[in-house]
Structure 1
Amino acid sequence: MAEAPVPILMYHSVATAPNEATRALSVAPEAFAEQMALIDELGLTPVNTAELAASWRSGSALPDRPVLITFDDGYEGVHRHALPVLAKHGYASTLFVSTGWIRGAYDTGGGLDTMLDWDQVREIAHGGCEIGGHSHTHPQLDQLDDDRLRTELVRCREIVTEQLGSVPASFAYPYGYSSRRVRQAVREAGYAQALAVGNGLARRRQGPYALHRVTVRRSTDATEFARLLEGRAIPPNFARDRALTKGYAVLRRVRQVRRKAIRSRV
């Protein structure tokens, strides 16, 4: 029997007063707390990315009604606002860090808002959160040449390993985009699984390097969140996001082909 689809929630900033760059993909602390309480009320069990992928790879059992709680980039509000709520409920989660955006020795200055520092990342990890990779400088990976692509993936993995003393097994694509070449590079860099966006539920048949997530944003109300967790029809805004994601990916591939054609004529 095929495994039931699993909701993988994608969060970014959890903040009271986010800046303009992060506002749309931020969630208010009060809303985040209510969403985590709803997960408890509905009887779902959070697992992390590595646990889900390992189960689907080996056929081992997952808890009834699993859900994944994931965070991208590494915003400071994950430590300030989300960590206490996750600890209260005893929830597993995954934080995907862009290592060049984390405050400290490797900071490239690219972070879009106040970012975590490495002491905070370690606290989050010690609280039971899986730490995964999200590249070093958060570029559009499918637009990079092979050498730069490998550097982004390997540098991220090396820094997380150095800072935390454990090798990250999971990866999330910046902007949610990937290609066959990018997925192969992620595999070769040593990551065992990777998450896209897709704005749909995750299914085993998607493969370990293209698992779908759904975006939780500031406009996500309680009704939409409950529908998402219960696996019912994806609300209209998610369907619209999914269509836009696919359309933009096609447009970007066309532009990439045109650029290659122009370079070949020069």
Structure 2
Amino acid sequence: MYHAVATDPNEATRALSVTPEAFAEQMAVLAELGLNPVTSAELAACWRSGRPLPGRPVLITFDDGYEGVHRHALPALAKHGFPATLFVSTGWIQGPYDTGGGLDTMLDWDQVRELAAAGVEIGGHSHSHPQLDQVSGATLRFELIHCKEIISDQLGSVPASFAYPYGYSSRRVRQAVRETGYAQALAVGNGLARRAQGPYALRRVTVRRGTDIAEFERVVQGRAIARTFAGDRVLTKGYALVRRTRRARRLVSRTGA
């Protein structure tokens, strides 16, 4: 799971960005190891149909829709003939639906179309990038449906895949994603994607600015993942508790209890 690919990202995206040079080196490692990238739609289609996946499959995904995916990542992907999946927050993409919420320089719709034409699957990532498990049912459906409609209008094809903003979901969110027509959805979880997770909770591992090439190679081979992301899991569990507490307090205040 990538976010920004940038030489000089701003502070909001720095930690979850990679340099263009690092990304190119990481793609070369995938090629050297004989890994075979597939899109999230291809993965789910194989699992559903029983068709075999290529040997040593790997997903290359990008969240949000930063401009560096077109400027820097696309040439590196094209060099190796690698497909990838880009999950866009439609309200952050430059153009008629832009809400101004993007954290750094974002793609425009012409660039998104060029990425799609080059073999990058375009999936949904909500419209305004909220924590979907914290919003009302009406807002949740708006975020999912509006995102899907905009992508369909701009690209002429309906997105099949979705990624949860911040990686957060719940049974209610996953059910809504299914009901609004997305065929599969990706979380974070910092673990390998496995069929047992089901099509609406597939895990990914985070690649960030501090990921050196040795760590990257270990992770893509499925080695030492628990140790590599142990700190992330502690923080995630802690923040999840804080979020549940805040949500409970909001519900209490609304009911006047």
Using the size of structure 2 for normalisation, the TM-score is 0.97
CA distance in 2, matches of 1:212, 1:110: 26
Give the CA deviation at 1:82.
0.3
* Alignment coverage as a number of residue pairs: 257
SS state at 2:102 partner: coil
CA distance in 1, matches of 2:52, 2:230: 30
Check conservation: 1:93, 1:130, Cα contact below 8 A.
yes
Identity over aligned pairs, percent: 76
- Point out 4+ residue stretches in structure 1 off by more than 6 angstroms: none
CA distance in 2, matches of 1:207, 1:111: 30
CA distance in 2, matches of 1:134, 1:44: 26
The unaligned stretches of length 5 or more in structure 1 are 1-9
Give the alignment partner of residue 30 of structure 2, picking from 5, 25, 39. Answer: 39
Q: CA RMSD in A?
A: 1.1
Q: Which residue does the alignment assign to 1:52?
A: 43
SS state at 2:61 partner: strand
CA distance in 2, matches of 1:128, 1:114: 22
**Higher RCO, 1 vs 2 (CA within 8 Å, ≥6 residues apart):** 1
Q: Are 1:222 and 2:204 an aligned pair? A: no
SS state at 1:61 partner: coil
Give the CA deviation at 1:19.
0.4
Deviations 1:75-95 (A, max 9, x none): 000000000111110001000
Q: Which residue does the alignment assign to 1:174?
A: 165
Q: Are 1:16 and 2:16 an aligned pair? A: no
Check conservation: 2:191, 2:226, Cα contact below 8 A.
no
Instruction: Describe how 1:1-266 pairs up with structure 2 within 5 A.
Output: 10-234=1-225, 236-265=227-256
Check conservation: 1:228, 1:235, Cα contact below 8 A.
no
Deviations 1:14-66 (A, max 9, x none): 00000000000000000000000000000000000011112222221000000
Give the CA deviation at 1:237.
4.1
Using the size of structure 1 for normalisation, the TM-score is 0.94
CA distance in 1, matches of 2:54, 2:79: 20
Structure 2 residue identity aligned to 1:173? Y
Check conservation: 1:70, 1:94, Cα contact below 8 A.
yes
Higher mean displacement: 230-239 or 17-26:
230-239
